[in-house]
Structure 1
Amino acid sequence: MNKKRATKSILLLLLLISLQSCSVFNSGLKTTEKPTGSKLVTFDIDHFYNAFDLAIKDSSNAENIFNNYYFKKGSAGLSDFYKTKIQSKEKFSEFVLAFKEYYQSIRNDITDIKDLENQIKQNFNDFEQLYPEAKFPDVYFLVGKYQSNGTISKNGLLIGTEMLAKTPESDTANWNNDILRISMERNHIPVTVSHELVHFNQDKMRDGNTLLWKSIREGSAEFVAEIISGETDADYKKFNGKELEIWNDFKSDKNKSIWRSWQQESELRPRNAGYWMGYMICKAYSEKIGNKEKAVKDILSIQDYSKFLKESEVEIYLQNKFGT
């Protein structure tokens, strides 16, 4: 894959990618009841760069090299990430080689993330205080091909570190413009982990297939992540001034199964509007009842999403907060 083809691939990903495309497993989750039992697994990153160095020297054999030195040596988390996100060793190796300068430039920033461990564990502890029923899985730090910064599986939280590698010292002059546009700050990793931790604890929420259901599932992860980490996983600055317009669109769409159109950026809505709308609904509910602990417990056990939407009184909340 040359850089022109790889750039087209990134543009396609920009149309399809969500912040987190959460793969939910309702049974067989591997967890511990205490944050101290959760492990941060980073050896897949080391294996990736071992394979990377070999593949650079023998590019014609890159697919086999990544298979033997990265995927076959991988953790349970990498196996899950491959099945749900990477899916093709051929396309993976072609993508990495096409953007080898980028992967090399972020190497030192993602091979050692010990400085973030304390913050991640503190966020886990804060979640336990907020939601005593919480379960805590292992966290796997992986390298993908720019498809997801985070998702979950039955084995734990899966973090795509190549999307979370930008630092104030990063030399971005030669980064592909599309990579630069969707890359996230390295110090944001604990926030992404917090978002995925909430997803892992949504097993008591009733499943569904509507825009409202998906928005609340993603928005609740944003809402709780903000409580425990101080930030949402997404940057919602583009929503300023459009809040009531987006809500009015949402009211007419909420019972439809059209999630993808609410992920993609359009003339009407910024990217990830479904996340934002669910986040606002959860925030409105919490502020209405005035008790974050109860709000989180209620949210993580929703059985009737339409009822919850009504009880949130989100329209009143948005009009009071953003109306003129």
Structure 2
Amino acid sequence: MQKKNKKKLSLLLLLLILVQSCSIFNSRLETSENPKESNIITSDIENFYQAFDLATKDSANAESLFNKYYFKKGSPGLNDFYKTKIQSKEKFTEFVLAFEDYYQSIKKDISNLNDLGNQIDSNFQEFENLYPQARFPDVYFLVGKFQSNGTISNEGLLIGTEMLAKTPDSDTVNWNEDILRITLERKHIPITVSHEIIHFNQDKMKDGNTLLWKSIREGSAEFIAELIGGETDADYSKFKGREMEIWNDFKKEKNKSIWRSWQQESEERPRNAGYWMGYIICKAYYEQIQDPEKTVQDILSIEDYSEFLRKSKVEQYIQKNFGT
């Protein structure tokens, strides 16, 4: 038992270093579709639990069982998710078996997602209203090992449902405390999908490598997701009272080629500070424009991030809204 707990701890330490909700697939996307043609694909969840049920009864052959019944039967979305996120069948199997009780406990809540379809469709339609040239790919619901609740590929939107599984009825008594802290509410799934559909449509934004660029890329997905669905993908409650402090730090580092220290939680700032900073910059820009369609159009076609920052008047926005 002690050996198993040590293995869980080492896996979780790795999880806390790697876990991210951001989209890192940086390819030019060609697919163009309208909202009604976007399909919600859940076959990978069904395949996962077929493999899971067999693997937990035959742990010696678990890796080959996951390979046969989950990965080899996988959708194009799962194939891409494996390449960019999972990467190792051995480590995937080790993680899933280490947290077997968790995966079993969420089975009924992620095996049927039909009730969320209307909200996803509504958010897609709202995005099209704001951005008529938007493209709407298929949405793949997958099961991973707590590395990402959402990303994109040329196939579409890839959603890691194991990180979006908590419900009011969840029996969390035996959940690991880090798993419990990271897992999002199941009802949050349409917001994660909204965040990722924005990333899928960011191909007209100029590429870059600075903290400012990355923050606006992530923060704009947060801001527009809130416009179309009413919520951000992340929880920013820990930023209350620290807004000016974080902005002053950001000003000093915005032109550096850094990101991790602005993504992970530290003594200096809460987790996802880069996301929050980009989100606030976009909100500040919107306050200057007062036109949601033009704001979305301007954001998704940024050529000069420093100029966009200047036009946002974000420092005045922060002072006005969060100053003492």
Give the TM interval when normalised to the shorter protein.
over 0.9
Contact between 2:23 and 2:199, CA under 8 Å: does it hold in 1?
Answer: no
- Greater shift, 257-266 or 7-16, is seen at 7-16
State the 1:22 CA deviation. 2.7
Q: Corresponding residue for 2:201?
A: 201
What SS class does the counterpart of residue 159 from structure 1 fall into?
Answer: strand
Contact between 2:31 and 2:135, CA under 8 Å: does it hold in 1?
Answer: no
Instruction: Name the amino acid aligned to 2:110.
Output: I
What SS class does the counterpart of residue 152 from structure 1 fall into?
Answer: strand
Q: Corresponding residue for 1:31?
A: 32
State the 1:11 CA deviation. 2.1
Cα deviation 1:4-59 (Å, max 9, x = unaligned):
223222222213322224312114x3331x10010000000000000001101110
Q: Corresponding residue for 1:94?
A: 94
Q: Corresponding residue for 1:302?
A: 302
The number of aligned residues is 322
Q: Corresponding residue for 1:12?
A: 14
Matches within 5 A, 1:173-212: 173-212=173-212
CA distance in 2, matches of 1:255, 1:298: 21
CA distance in 2, matches of 1:224, 1:102: 32
Instruction: Name the amino acid aligned to 1:16.
Output: L
Q: Spell out structure 1 runs of 4+ moving beyond 3 A.
A: none
State the 1:272 CA deviation. 0.4
Matches within 5 A, 1:202-241: 202-241=202-241
Contact between 1:211 and 1:259, CA under 8 Å: does it hold in 2?
Answer: yes
Matches within 5 A, 1:240-279: 240-279=240-279
Structure 1: which 5+ residue stretches go unaligned? Answer: none
Contact between 2:219 and 2:282, CA under 8 Å: does it hold in 1?
Answer: yes
Contact between 1:51 and 1:69, CA under 8 Å: does it hold in 2?
Answer: yes
What SS class does the counterpart of residue 293 from structure 2 fall into?
Answer: helix
CA distance in 2, matches of 1:159, 1:6: 24
Instruction: Name the amino acid aligned to 1:6.
Output: K
State the identity as a percent. 70
Contact between 2:23 and 2:196, CA under 8 Å: does it hold in 1?
Answer: no
Contact between 1:18 and 1:272, CA under 8 Å: does it hold in 2?
Answer: no
- Greater shift, 14-23 or 58-67, is seen at 14-23
What SS class does the counterpart of residue 205 from structure 2 fall into?
Answer: coil
Structure 2: which 5+ residue stretches go unaligned? Answer: none
Matches within 5 A, 1:74-89: 74-89=74-89
CA distance in 2, matches of 1:311, 1:87: 41
TM-score normalized with structure 1 length: 0.98
Instruction: Name the amino acid aligned to 1:195.
Output: H
TM-score normalized with structure 2 length: 0.98
Cα deviation 1:254-274 (Å, max 9, x = unaligned):
000110110011111000000
- RMSD value, Cα: 1.0
Q: Corresponding residue for 2:291?
A: 291
Instruction: Name the amino acid aligned to 2:7.
Output: R
Instruction: Name the amino acid aligned to 2:20.
Output: S
Instruction: Name the amino acid aligned to 1:13.
Output: L
Matches within 5 A, 1:112-191: 112-191=112-191
CA distance in 1, matches of 2:286, 2:59: 54
